[in-house]
Amino acid sequence: MNTSPRFTRRSLTVLAALVLLASHSPGVPAQTKPTAAPPTSPRIGLALSGGGARGLAHVGVLKVLDEMRVPIHCVTGTSMGAIVGATFAAGTTPEEMEKVVLAADWDSIFRDRPEREEIAVRRKIDDYKTLLAPEFGVKDGGLALPKGAIAGVSIESFFRELAAPAIGVTDFDKLPIPFRAMATDIETGESVVLDRGSVAQAMRASMSVPGAIAPVEMDGRLLVDGGIANNLPINEARRLCADVVIAVNISTPPLKRQDITSALSVVGQLINFLGKQTVDDQLKSLGNRDVLIAPDLGDISAATFERAADAIRIGERATRAMADSLKRYSLPPEQFAALRATQIAERKVLGTVDEIRVEGLERINPEVLLALVKSKPGEPLSEEKVGADLRRIYGRGGLESITYHLSGDTAPRAMVIEPREKSWGPDYLRFGIGLVSDFSGDNAFNLLVQYRRTWLNRLGGEWLTEAQVGQNTHLFSEFYQPLSEAGRWFVAPYFHVGQQTRGVFVGDDRVADYRVRLGQVGVDGGAVLGTWGQVRLGPVWSHVDATVDTGSPVLPAVKETTAGVRAVLFVDQTDSAFFPRSGFRAGGTAYAARTSFGSALSYERLEGAIQGAHSWGPHTLNYFIGGGTDLGSDMPAYESFTLGGPLRLSAYRFNQFAGREYAFGRLMYYNRVFPLPDLLGRGVYVGGSAEVGRMKDRYDGLPSPGTLWSGSLFLGADTFAGPAYLGVGFGESGTWSMYMLLGAP
């Protein structure tokens, strides 16, 4: 890694945090005209600019250069240009690159989270609390935030796949085609030339947009998007090898006045103008022998990766338009084929290693992370398996980034995993909200605050505290202690105090509010079922104070202590907590209160459910089956099961039906009509549900309503604040309701 002259700091002030992928390209000068062919074949360097999704046009450029038999002897690139350039330099053909690009799940790549089935169970449980982003770190007596909205772990994993033929290469001169990537030192403003290290990490550093994607630390420098300081590295192509430069500039036209409608668009326009100076200086260096290709990408933006095919096609067209300038550099077929045979590399076999180790940690015990690695010394490694290991480690939580490298080609050989702990940790503060309304007087709003202290000891002990205020209030605190570095077994003492209000109904009329105050302590012992789930078992003691708050005293006032044993099962392999498209989850709770434990009465309470999703195209069917019973043990009223409310007999009031035994089923259909930006959520959906339920042994003494049918139509969204629904429910005999839900009610 080396540096070029210092870039002006004015572009790295307030605007740096708002740099957009689209903002790296200026205007385009006149096209160069062909001249007579040189007497000898020159060495040709390829310089590729940044531009986000617009940079996928580079793939089309490379396809046509191959078709025209134009040799490339070295490559330099910035941001998306570095990604495409590094992939090409590593030995991947443009056709192979195109297949990967078109098949990529870009939403997943930029979501910065492993597939949900790969993350730790405790993180999955948090999903259902609909905690808001961002995650605040509690550090040095104040609050800290991540350096970027996206850590870039999924991005770097994708880059390792692209650059797979270069695995083990640390000197970029030793790639099939010599390569350089451009980055910017965010501390000094210097342009940094990346010429060694991990190819995937260099790609990642070159496109780390300040404020959006977290910086990369390399050789003691904090690196961000190279487009800030040098978005079209023509100069580096000449230094590297080039007698002739083919420059590909992915330009973003300045916004028109009518398009400058917000503060962000104003800032984006200013950044475009600030960046124009550096690129103009590079373009001025082009001579008559050089070739400039400037694809006209129209309305393709830096973020429209779904238009990858269009960008590639436009890149092809722009390159063919420059045929007269390029054909003078074409090689005879045999000579070109011989050259490309030396430049195209097969995916490397990682082979075996003698050791796997974790380096670079301060707080986190490396042995705990090693226990998550399924690759073994002496067994053949694969990029797929190693990638799964890294995602599993990252999914445990507490890490800002993770990468790896192989040390040497001869024994003793090691795979070195290099995680980076969250710089804003190890204690974290998060918030969550819940809002639900039926537009008929039943409304609830809750605010949740969660404080988590992590790595309190070498085995990964955590102290979790949650406080919720609103319609339902509670304070919960648990100390979670793994019993080994593998973390399979754990103990978890906890306490819980809170209160909730339940409506009491006679028919469709709410006649009273039943307020239940609870104080509880317990100790769970349990086992972690990999990333699938967990099971808990332990004693629990509770003090209950249940009274009629308003209305008729339909239910008795109770003040008593219960004690018994509780078992909890949680299994979750869905791809999303809300609006899943695949996978299943199941759970259940069993509780047995016994007078022999000091309980005022003996009874049982058993409840369980299973849910799954299946999709085809944009369509999804989601099923849910659940039920509960007291096994005929005369369970007290404050423990009653309830039905009624959004997607739980949608036509009826919240918790309208209460009793000692119930069954419920739901079939839900939804279709994602359009995605949401990553910072806002995953998508907007339209859908409907068919629901059926049955409640027995009601506490109000009224007869069971029998089997109840309901359905709903809704507009939904998977948002940063959790699920959002606006819908209408309808049932038998003209029963209907409207409902709104946001987050966890």
Alpha carbons within 13 A on the beta-carbon side of 618: 10
CA 602, chain centre distance (Å): 46
Helix/strand/coil for 653: coil
What CA–CA distance (Å, rounded) separates 657 from 653? 9
Encoded amino acid at 642, one letter: T
Please identify which of the residues 126, 225, 310, 438 carries the catalytic annotation.
Answer: 225
Find all residues with CB under 8 Å of 40, minimum gap 6, and list them. Answer: none
- Got the DSSP string for 472-503? SEEEEEEEEEESSTT--EEEEEEEEEEEEEEE
CA proximity to 568, closest of 543, 541, 591:
591
What CA–CA distance (Å, rounded) separates 221 from 193? 12
What CA–CA distance (Å, rounded) separates 25 from 100? 25
What CA–CA distance (Å, rounded) separates 166 from 87? 9
What CA–CA distance (Å, rounded) separates 125 from 75? 46
Encoded amino acid at 441, one letter: G
**Residues 510 and 503 sit within 8 Å (Cβ to Cβ):** yes
CA proximity to 691, closest of 660, 652, 654:
652
Structure token digits, residue 310: 């269009």
| CB neighbourhood size of 192 (10 A) | 26
- 79 catalytic per annotation: yes
Relative to beta strand 533-551, strand 509-529 is: antiparallel
- Got the DSSP string for 141-200? TEEE--SEEE--HHHHHHHHHHTGGGTT--BGGGSSS-EEEEEEETTT-EEEEE-BS-HH
Structure token digits, residue 228: 């800030």
Helix/strand/coil for 259: helix
What CA–CA distance (Å, rounded) separates 646 from 624? 14
Does the bond joining 677 to the residue before it have cis omega, within 30 degrees of 0?
no
In angstroms, what CA-CA distances link 593 with 546, 597, 600, 601?
Answer: 17, 8, 9, 7
What CA–CA distance (Å, rounded) separates 625 from 95? 47
CA proximity to 199, closest of 162, 234, 229:
162
| CB neighbourhood size of 338 (10 A) | 11
- 545 catalytic per annotation: no
What CA–CA distance (Å, rounded) separates 310 from 293? 17
Report the first-to-last Cα separation within the chain, whole angstroms.
Answer: 52
CA proximity to 699, closest of 548, 594, 549, 534:
548
Angle (CA) 183 339 287, round 5° = 55
| Run of H or E residues at 88 | helix 80-89
CA-based radius of gyration for the chain: 30
CA 43, chain centre distance (Å): 43
Enter the DSSP assignment of 379. Answer: S
Please identify which of the residues 25, 49, 79, 191 carries the catalytic annotation.
Answer: 79
Backbone angles phi, psi at 51, to 5 degrees: 155, 15
| CB neighbourhood size of 496 (10 A) | 17
Helix/strand/coil for 395: helix
Which residues participate in catalysis according to the annotation? 79, 225
